Amino acid sequence: MWSLSFAPLVPLPLLIALCVLAAVAAGAAIVLAGRSAILRALALAVLALTLADPSLVFEDREPVKDVVSVVVDRSASNRLADRTAQTDAAQAEVERQLRGLGNVETRVVDVRDAQGSGDGTRLFEALAASVADVPSERVAGAIVISDGLAHDAPANADALGLKAPLHVLTTGRNAEIDRRIVLVDSPRFGIVGKDQIIRLRVLETNGPGRAGLTIRRDGEVIARRQVTAGEIVQVPVRIDRGGPNVVEIEAAPLDDELTLANNRAVVTIDGVRDKLRVLLVSGEPHPGERTWRNLLKADANVDLVHFTILRPPEKQDGTPINELSLIAFPT
């Protein structure tokens, strides 16, 4: 396809001003000098056209297909019951309809459970990565096939950065019954002999709204309580020994529940002992005193304060009492 393109050698406002001045000058010359000024007017027109730098361009265009990203949730929660079959059927139907459009490039991304710091189902990270190399104008849309549990959902549509329609096909059934425990806050360390607070929430789908919790520490039941679904619950746990304390919190199962795997939550709290404060008072230095001092300092759980009194009690030389010590003796 042929087209005429202009690439002015001077800024466009200046070019327009020069053309206006040239037109005024040429018109005045023709009026005053008659036909003899026509050549001058043509010269000014050629000069203005040269400054506009016109060019004849032939464009050979090839249409580029639009891109549609199909994100398929293959996480553990989307493999419960018959959700795998539903997911496969939905994916096959979506791909069939997209192939029928003809001018669409389909990109299918399978998302599995993440490991490490980003635990959970990271659907939107996978969606962003699948179209990262495509200009936003080519992205025609995105289709997500999932059970609806995504751990990286943006706060709003603008944060997603997708300027195209987003469709979600949800697997599962409306009448499914499920109960799960979500940890809100769990401590990693605790002082032996003191309580640590675990904050959690029990979520239900088609449940009665109340749930029974059983709390175990190292396999031993330490508490049972009733909680309201959806509310944040604080569970105090006494750290009774140093090292790992395994706390298991289990919600009572429901009849015909979808899965019992998410009814339990396990928290490991490392018990640490508070530092033991030791006051070591010694007189004349001797090997035994140094051995005690080294042993106490080697223990990280001991806060040692050592005083050495070099003046024997039987020495009497008239020194005032207020000059016998530079610092106050601890009591």
CB atoms within 10 A of CB 60: 5
What superfamily would CATH give domain 178-272?
Immunoglobulins (2.60.40.10)
123-136 tens-digit pLDDT: 888 998 999 898 88
Q: Which residue has the tokens 């008239």?
A: 318
46-63 tens-digit pLDDT: 777 777 778 878 777 778
In eight-state DSSP terms, residue 329 is: P
The CA-based angle 36-37-42, given to 5 degrees, is: 120
Boundaries of every domain in the chain: 2-58, 66-170, 178-272, 276-323
CATH topology for the 66-170 domain: Rossmann fold (3.40.50)
55-87 tens-digit pLDDT: 878 777 778 889 999 999 998 888 888 889 999
Q: At what angle do helices 38-52 and 12-33 cross, to 10 degrees?
A: 170
At 34 the pLDDT is 66
pTM, two decimals, is 0.56
**Which DSSP string do the residues of 161-215 spell out, in sequence order?**
T--S-EEEEE-S-TT-BEEEEEEEE--SEEETTSEEEEEEEEEEES--SEEEEEE
Specify the amino acid at residue 14. L
Specify the amino acid at residue 155. A
Distance separating alpha carbons of residues 79 and 83, to the nearest angstrom: 5
172-207 tens-digit pLDDT: 888 888 899 999 999 998 888 889 999 999 999 888
